[in-house]
Amino acid sequence: MYMDSMLDCDLLVIGGGLNGTAIARDAAGRGLSVILCEQDDLACGASALGPALIHGLTPGSQAIDFPALRIALTERDILMRCAPHISKTARIVMPQTGAERSGWKMRTALRLQNLLAGRDLLPAAREIDLLHHVAGGALRPEYSHGWIYSDGWIDAARLTVLNALDAAEGGAKILTRTACREIQRSQEGWHASLRGSRGISTGIRTRALVNAAGGGADDFLQAALGKRLSARALHLTQILVRRALSHDYAYLLHAADGRQVHVMPQEPGYTLISALGSEEAEADVEADSALLCETVNRYFTARIAPQDIVWSRSTVWLSPLDRQARARQVHADYSLEMDSEEAPLLSVIGGSIGSARQLAEEAVNCIASRLGCHGGAWTADACLPGGDLYGLAPSSRSIVEFSNFVQAAKQQYSWAPAALIARWARCYGSRIHKLLADCRDAKDLGAQPLPGLYEAELRYLMQAEWAQTAADILWRRTRLGLALPKEAEAALDGWIAESTAQEFAAAV
């Protein structure tokens, strides 16, 4: 078949979500030549989440599994130290319900969590009197007692982009808006056909393949090779309501059907409500949204209705089917299926934000040895781009003293709006100095196509972080979309088209 160009590599990663980019980063850092293709923008699938909980294990919700809990807590801390600028402490409140009358199970689970978690990063779990706690103010009076525990918030979309950035800086080629259409075994290993958004076709000769297509991994394998993964599809529904909580606490509630519902404050003035997994063949976003509203109304005094929803989505997520396969992996929330008839083809099933680094490490361990690459695991001790706030090595200081970093940046760039510097410090960490390298005063920030969004940032995102459209910028590189009116997206797309045309005209 005719291809516009041909490329060779050791490893082709299909899918630019968190798992795919983490694998590309790890493999590139071990010296493999890597190409990653993403059919849309980076982090446009499950990883499009903004702030999400890192370890996500709910105390008391399942049988206590010491090794799994220890690993999840350790990974959470590694992630927060490696990417301190995009992480924050999350405090989660669980109101006690009638079904949990004695609460002994929860007390035991929280004691265990306190025992296993390091105490230098996050506050300990404890019981709380909700009648006298700020998080209790929004709840109905019957919820007078509960528990509070810690996890980390991390911006999952930015984490994905930072993994891609680190992969690229390690030599990987990142091709966004490029779908993998076909794969075939070949003498070298695999031949893959990619197609870009302008119809440009690229052939890839690769020694190994990773199928990290997220919720589409099973369909991809079925279409490409007629094989199925050992996975079940779950639908995860999220709704965003225009309702502000007067504090930063999140809540963990239980829906009438037993599902866990997370209620999480989002800036500015929104609340994100999500339910973990229904296993229906087709997602029923309307029914799920109604269930989420009903759950919130059972716990909170202020009622919400489907009309309050400003945005909703249901995403397909794969979960490993085979419990034994799951148990063989270090983390129990994913499995890696290797099709090793000849050249390696590894498919990723499931995972979570907290397990992505380790999943990538295991995936690359499997592949690297088959490709004769002997580079060892390295990502647990390496900051993600911008995470080196106080030295190159990941440190707790970067989390604990993050506000000092912001303060110092505000002083250094005292000519720039303080709110802009605070936002950039959260988004770009130490890379803020790169964004501002050529700026001496406010006019060097350039035009401001939207309030608070300057040309200096737009150029950086388009040149260094693969942003091409307003949606890439407003929803996946920043979360400014939440604070801006709907028309903002079209206005920014107009600015991007105009400035791209001007650059093109200047170049020819």
Give the binding site for ligand FAD (CB under 6 A).
14-20, 37-40, 44-47, 49, 52-53, 56, 156, 179-180, 212-216, 220, 236, 238, 274, 315, 317, 348, 351-354, 356
Q: Min. distance of Cβ 220 from ligand FAD in angstroms?
A: 5
Q: Min. distance of Cβ 281 from ligand FAD in angstroms?
A: 17
Measured CA to CA, the distance from residue 138 to residue 117 in angstroms comes to 29
Q: Min. distance of Cβ 433 from ligand FAD in angstroms?
A: 29
Residue 230 near residue 325 (C-beta atoms within 8 A): yes
- List the one residue out of 75, 354, 340, 372 whose CA is nearest residue 210: 340
- List the one residue out of 432, 474, 400 whose CA is nearest residue 88: 400
SS3 state of residue 72: helix
Measured CA to CA, the distance from residue 95 to residue 99 in angstroms comes to 11
Q: Which residue shows structure tokens 């983490």?
A: 22
Of 351 and 481, CB closest to ligand FAD: 351
Of 47 and 430, CB closest to ligand FAD: 47
Q: Min. distance of Cβ 359 from ligand FAD in angstroms?
A: 9
- List the one residue out of 312, 409, 325, 310 whose CA is nearest residue 362: 325
In the bound state, the residue with its beta carbon closest to ligand FAD is: 17
Of 211 and 430, CB closest to ligand FAD: 211
Q: Min. distance of Cβ 48 from ligand FAD in angstroms?
A: 7
Of 361 and 388, CB closest to ligand FAD: 361
Q: Letter for the amino acid at 460? A: Y
Q: Min. distance of Cβ 286 from ligand FAD in angstroms?
A: 16
Q: Min. distance of Cβ 44 from ligand FAD in angstroms?
A: 5
- What Cα–Cα distance (Å) separates residue 211 from each residue in 215, 230, 336? 11, 14, 10
Measured CA to CA, the distance from residue 72 to residue 107 in angstroms comes to 19
Of 14 and 252, CB closest to ligand FAD: 14
Vertex 84: Cα angle to 79 and 86 (nearest 5) = 95
Measured CA to CA, the distance from residue 228 to residue 323 in angstroms comes to 17
Q: Min. distance of Cβ 379 from ligand FAD in angstroms?
A: 16
Measured CA to CA, the distance from residue 275 to residue 58 in angstroms comes to 13
- Name 11's bridge partners: 34, 208
Of 56 and 452, CB closest to ligand FAD: 56
Mention every residue, 6+ apart, whose C-beta is less than 8 A from residue 31. 373, 375
SS3 state of residue 227: coil
Q: Min. distance of Cβ 172 from ligand FAD in angstroms?
A: 15
Q: Min. distance of Cβ 471 from ligand FAD in angstroms?
A: 13
Of 317 and 466, CB closest to ligand FAD: 317
Measured CA to CA, the distance from residue 188 to residue 218 in angstroms comes to 24
Give burial (CB, 10 Å; 0-12/13-18/19+) of 7. Answer: middle
Residue 61 near residue 54 (C-beta atoms within 8 A): no
Q: Min. distance of Cβ 366 from ligand FAD in angstroms?
A: 17
Of 261 and 304, CB closest to ligand FAD: 261
Of 17 and 344, CB closest to ligand FAD: 17
Measured CA to CA, the distance from residue 409 to residue 111 in angstroms comes to 39
Of 337 and 388, CB closest to ligand FAD: 337
Of 40 and 493, CB closest to ligand FAD: 40
Residue 368 near residue 11 (C-beta atoms within 8 A): no
Give burial (CB, 10 Å; 0-12/13-18/19+) of 74. Answer: middle
Please, what sign has the CA dihedral across residues 276, 280, 284, 288?
negative
